[in-house]
Amino acid sequence: MADNIVYLNGEFKPIESACVPVMDRGFLFGDGVYEVIPVFGDKLLRVDEHLRRLQNSLRKVSMTNPHSDDEWKQLFRRLLDKNPGDDRAVYLQVTRGAYPRRDLSIDKQHPPTVFLMVLHIDAVSAESLESGISAITVDDFRWRNCDIKSVSLIANVMLKQQATEANAVDAILVRDGKVTEGTASNVFVVRRGVIVTPPKSECLLPGITRDLVIDIARDNKLAYEERDIEENELLRADEIWLTSSTREVAPVVRLNQQPVGDGKAGPMWYKVIEHYQQYKQALRDADG
Ligand code: PDD
């Protein structure tokens, strides 16, 4: 297999020789933010939207964006050229850097740590998604800054582990009786022909895939609503989907050991996934 070449603070190098000091605040505090940007046919999916979300995350944690959008795009291009392949994703992480002392205070002049790598993602096809996944509902005990794409993912790790221990693939998080999101995805339900997803708030990450699914619904005149979803609506849903850059649109066919709808991917999912695959194909085929 070709070398996995990553980018770290100005240099491209094999992943084995990329090292971060132990005093890095990303390592000590989880003090950093990240993005995962899917790549189809060498084209980045909704890169401007990902860079806008990165900018928001950085601003909310009082970090300066180390690069302009054009600089980021040049870095992505160079990284992808060094790691040729089919469908993949660019992972980017910015931490507050390595300080001389372990101290929570921020020094805004201090240089950040900037890290990029290419993630291998298994090609996702409608057929591979069709069989669906199982999920459980869990209490969303996370903080109220879930709109920041923070590398501090210990709560998400714990919630995912609850799903694993219940022999489910993932967990749907519920806060104060309302659905927020998945452990690394957004949640949609379909009931009586209407697609519903919770509105953006500090309780969930504003997913790029979520917005793409909403655009697909709007452009194809499928009924949709952005509104709160009560926990008990999950139990009555005809369909439930989890969306993310790596999962795309995954139908949840079992929830808390019970079938969702008739226990199979539903008709609305088939419509949306077809448009999603077309969107990916148009990106692959686009010039430039
Ligand atoms: N996670 N919510 C959470 C908590 C997430 O971690 C993610 C994505 C999403 C979906 O966002 P998007 O559609 O922009 O991928 C929602 C990425 C894929 C990850 O951590 O690997």
Mutate to test the pocket of ligand 1, among 49, 50, 179, 185 (most ligand atoms within 8 A of CB): 185
pLDDT band at 272 (very low <50, low <70, confident <90, very high): very high
What distance lies between CA 122 and its chain's CA centroid? 15
Asked if pLDDT for residue 202 goes beyond 60, the answer is yes
Determine whether the shortest distance from the Cβ of 252 to ligand 1 is under 6 A.
no
CB 92 within 8 A of CB 51: no
pLDDT at position 1, please?
Answer: 52
Residues 230 and 101 in one domain: no
CA angle 117, 122, 128 (to 5 degrees): 155
Residues 99 and 200 in one domain: no
* H helical segments located in the chain: 25-29, 47-60, 69-82, 126-130, 154-165, 208-219, 231-236, 267-285
Mean residue pLDDT across the chain: 96
**Domain count for the chain:** 2
Active-site residue set: 149
29: CATH: 3.30.470.10
CA 253 / ligand 1 centre spacing (Å): 20
Determine whether the shortest distance from the Cβ of 95 to ligand 1 is under 6 A.
no
Mean pLDDT of 229-248: 97
> What does the pLDDT look like over 124-168, one tens digit per residue?
777 888 999 999 999 999 999 999 999 999 999 999 999 999 999
Mean pLDDT of 210-220: 98
Residues 106 and 207 in one domain: no
Mean pLDDT of 22-36: 98
Residues 12 and 92 in one domain: yes
Determine whether the shortest distance from the Cβ of 36 to ligand 1 is under 6 A.
yes
> What does the pLDDT look like over 93-102, one tens digit per residue?
999 999 999 9
Residues 156 and 215 in one domain: yes
Structural domain span for residue 159: 126-284
Residues 84 and 25 in one domain: yes
Domain end (from 70, 103, 120): 120
131: CATH: 3.20.10.10
3-state secondary structure 72-101: HHHHHHHHHHHCCCCCEEEEEEEECCECCC
Nearest CA to ligand 1 atom 4: 184
pLDDT band at 9 (very low <50, low <70, confident <90, very high): very high
d(CA 287, CA 147): 33
Determine whether the shortest distance from the Cβ of 93 to ligand 1 is under 6 A.
no
Domain end (from 120, 151, 168): 120
> What does the pLDDT look like over 39-92, one tens digit per residue?
998 999 999 999 999 999 999 999 999 999 999 999 999 999 999 998 999 999
Mutate to test the pocket of ligand 1, among 33, 35, 36, 142 (most ligand atoms within 8 A of CB): 36
Determine whether the shortest distance from the Cβ of 253 to ligand 1 is under 6 A.
no
Determine whether the shortest distance from the Cβ of 198 to ligand 1 is under 6 A.
no
Residues 260 and 208 in one domain: yes
Domain end (from 81, 105, 120): 120
Q: For the chain, what is the largest distance between any 2 Cα atoms, rounded to a whole number of angstroms?
A: 58
